[in-house]
Chain A
Amino acid sequence: MFGADVHPDGSAAFPVGETVVSRIFREEYGRSVASLIRAFGDIDAAEDAVQEAFAVALRKWPGDGLPPNPGGWITTTARNLAIDRQRREARGRELLREVAVLLPQKDDPGTAKEVGAVEDDRLRLIFTCCHPALSTEAQVALTLRLLGGLSTEEVARSFVVAEATMAQRIVRAKRKIKAARIPYRIPEVHELPDRLRPVLAVVYLLYNAGPPTPAEPDLRRQAIRLARVLSTLMPNEPEVAGLLALLLLTESRRASRSRPDGSLVLLGEQDRTRWDRALIEEGQAIVRRYRRHGPPGPYMLQAAINAVHADAATVQQTDWSQIVALYDQLFAVSPTPVVALNRAIAIGEVQGPTAALRLVNELDLGDYYPFHATRADLLWRLGRADEAAAAYERAAALAPTKAERDFLKLGGRADVIKEAGR
């Protein structure tokens, strides 16, 4: 969006400047928009002003050099631009009646004292974007658009949706915020269980967003960045920390999770020397820090499970009974069939494939390809090769990407099968 919409003439007169401005755009957009929404009470006005301020930056910075605090410069410039525009538009009309929807009280929009409250503004914006009155799709789109600074086109591409569809989704969500007067505020403690749930779900969804598109690494970075912002702003919420730890520990295995051709590598077969130790240590430190914060929630439990995996130098050294105990706790707070499946796999590592298969067969997960892949693996280990092959085929038929289909068609054990064929 930025390069295409804002660059005045498309020339490459200051290529370095533009790269720097683009980077600052990504880092500062959400912060500036959040601050402007509180000052002016209107999302569109805030976005327009911040984008205009970046356009000014593109013209001025290459000649004048970077200001000492580029983010602050953008916010101040955007605020001045917005005030100018309001003065022009408010002439002959009752001042700001319409744009005051999101304002907590009738402040003079120009003199909002946001110093020190800037971080709170971003938190307000996250809770507004992820308000439970909005659909999950709208929550995700607004979060990426307003906090991530992604253009509508980029958001659309990330979710393989037509740009017009995404544009309409964002317009409708903004309209609902105005019409229903979804407030710009941080929920009170008693509201948090209901309100934090969609916020965490959106960040988790961003990290795991669907098919591997060119935008996917950026979505993962955005998700981790948002989780960091949240955990800094809400240090007393263990589930926020749990989500961050879960994302860091999952990310630590990213490099070893797939082969250069895109095919998947199972956890047990990954090259553990390629796991990112810095991310593991950060994630494990979070899990340790919150160990005594009362009964852990689902994100912290998943983080803890990943922390145990990260401790083992080989799959054989994994403390599986610890993992089973954590899955027992996870199933108690989040009794879904998918959790039950993963718990069964862990039990299989402790008690053997017969016990695991008995548990897996009880699950109603016929449309979920990992269910068939798990059954296939257990059947293979029990020497029931024909049944295993049939289960792999069902898994392959249901798998969403070509890499996963190819992987499963080879029985998920390409090397083993090649070995057997020799």
Chain B
Amino acid sequence: MAHYLLSVHSVAGEIREPMTDDEMKESFRQIGILEAEMKSSHSLVLSGRLHEPDTATVVRISNGEVLTTDGPFAESKEHLGGFYIIEADNLDAALAWATKVSKTIKRPIEVWPFVDVRS
């Protein structure tokens, strides 16, 4: 068993077609079904959706002093928008979950293995 981060990225300034209320409801319903499936197969460790990147704050130690600044940390256009941490036998099993997530939320999913702490 290994752990994988399935991440969804948002692109700053990207305009997406706004969803109608019905579409939104349907989308949440499908995500709910998928997450229930992940839970019942004991694959889901944690999931979450993040606020916009400008809501992030960065803390760093500079010359022994705490320095707090506005975020996000990475100055890129793409930011983490949400994630699943799942447990799977191997990459193919993780990719199968990623395929389902991608079909449901209609966004690309990045699959990234965690370092196995036992090794």
Binding site for B on A (CB under 8 A): 97-98, 131, 133, 179-183, 185, 187, 191
Contact = CB atoms under 8 A, between A and B. Distances in A.
Contact of B89 (A98, A180, A183): A183
Interface in B102-119: 111, 113, 115, 118-119
Given A180-B113, A181-B2, A181-B113, A133 B91 contact: yes
Contacts of B93: 183
Contacts of A182: 90-92
B118 A181 contact: no
7 contacts: A97-B118, A97-B119, A133-B95, A180-B111, A181-B2, A181-B89, A182-B92
Contacts of A181: 2, 89-91, 113
A33 to B, nearest CB: 20
The majority secondary structure among interface residues of chain A is loop
Nearest to B88: A181
A191 B93 CA distance: 11
A187 B113 contact: no
Given A180-B111, A182-B90, 6 more contacts: A131-B91, A179-B115, A180-B113, A181-B89, A183-B89, A183-B90
Interface residues of B, number: 12
**7 A-B pairs closest in CB distance:** A183-B90, A181-B90, A180-B113, A180-B91, A182-B91, A181-B2, A183-B92
Nearest to A187: B92
B4 to A, nearest CB: 8
A183 B118 contact: no
Contacts, number: 27
Given A182-B91, A183-B92, A185-B92, A98 B113 contact: no
Nearest to B115: A179
A99 B117 CA distance: 15
B26 to A, nearest CB: 25
A89 to B, nearest CB: 15
Contacts of A131: 91
A368 to B, nearest CB: 30
Which of A98, A180, A182, A187 has most B Cβ within 10 Å? Answer: A180
Contacts of B95: 133
A139 to B, nearest CB: 15
Contacts of B115: 179
A183 B119 contact: no
B90 A98 contact: no
Which of B91, B93, B115 has most A Cβ within 10 Å? Answer: B91
Nearest to A181: B90
Contacts of B91: 131, 133, 180-183
Contacts of A180: 91, 111, 113
Given A179-B113, A180-B113, A98 B119 contact: yes
A351 to B, nearest CB: 44
Interface in B73-105: 89-93, 95
A131 B90 CA distance: 13
A183 B113 CA distance: 13
Contacts of A187: 92
A53 B87 CA distance: 38
Contacts of B113: 179-181
A179 B2 CA distance: 9
Nearest to A177: B91
Contacts of B92: 182-183, 185, 187, 191
Contacts of A191: 92
Which of B2, B89, B95, B119 has most A Cβ within 10 Å? Answer: B95
A98 B111 CA distance: 22
B21 to A, nearest CB: 34
A73 to B, nearest CB: 32
A187 B96 CA distance: 12
B46 to A, nearest CB: 20
A189 to B, nearest CB: 14
Nearest to B96: A191
Interface string B43-81: 000000000000000000000000000000000000000
